[in-house]
Amino acid sequence: MKALFAKYKSVIKFILTFLVVYVVLSVCYKFYLQFSDGSLYYPDYLTNLVGRQSEAVLDTMGYNAAIAPHPKEASLKLLVNGKYLARVIEGCNAVSVIILFVSFIIAFSGHFKATFFYILSGSVLIYAVNLIRIVLLTMGLYHYPEYQDVLHTVIFPAIIYGMVFLLWIIWVNRFSKLK
């Protein structure tokens, strides 16, 4: 048994570290969501921020965009030219994806400084790409509503998760102490 443990020590360490970091960050995020209930920023600050930034980017691109609180659920309605096209829910703020990203990077940690800056820059990149993804999805829904299912369930998740996977590959090949 000891020989088997010694052989797979790095794999076991990776899995345990990943799980511990993922659970701790997820629990912290859950507390954040609970304490956001009834706050000034509906449905929570980060989701509200993503909705407002999506609206601003769409406006900058020449679309007449607006957001409004959804009356029946904790989300924001994203409208273009008065037409309700998308809803921005808690899952649209990229925090869950960033938690997944950070957990992997810490589990495959490198030197502290490199790990810290990679987590910081990767999280900002994920957030920005997620924002662009929401804007492109809204534009796609505005111009091509018949492709709603393909856009929302295939193409746009592939963008965000594909980028996270690419960031993981770069981390493991260039910065991680574990190979």
CA distances (Å), 37 to each of 41, 64, 96, in order? Answer: 9, 29, 18
Please state the domain count of the chain: 1
Confidence of residue 76 (pLDDT cuts 50, 70, 90): very high
User: Quick one: pLDDT band at residue 138, thresholds 50, 70, 90?
Assistant: very high
Cα 98 to Cα 40: distance, rounded to the nearest angstrom: 24
pLDDT digits 0-9 by tens, 7-22: 788 889 999 999 999 9
Q: Is residue 27 part of a domain?
A: yes
pLDDT of 178: 64
d(CA 42, CA 68): 10
* Residue 179 lies inside a defined structural domain of this protein: no
Q: Look at residue 26 and tell me whether its pLDDT is greater than 60.
A: yes
pLDDT at 10: 85
pLDDT (tens digit per residue) in 96-111: 999 999 999 999 887 9
Question: Does some domain include residue 139?
Answer: yes
Identify the domain containing residue 56 by its residue range: 2-174
What is this structure's pTM?
0.91
Q: Is residue 56 assigned to a domain?
A: yes
Check pLDDT > 90 for residue 53: yes
Other Cβ atoms less than 10 A from the Cβ of 43: the count is: 22
Q: CA-CA distance, 141 to 116, in Å (whole number)?
A: 37
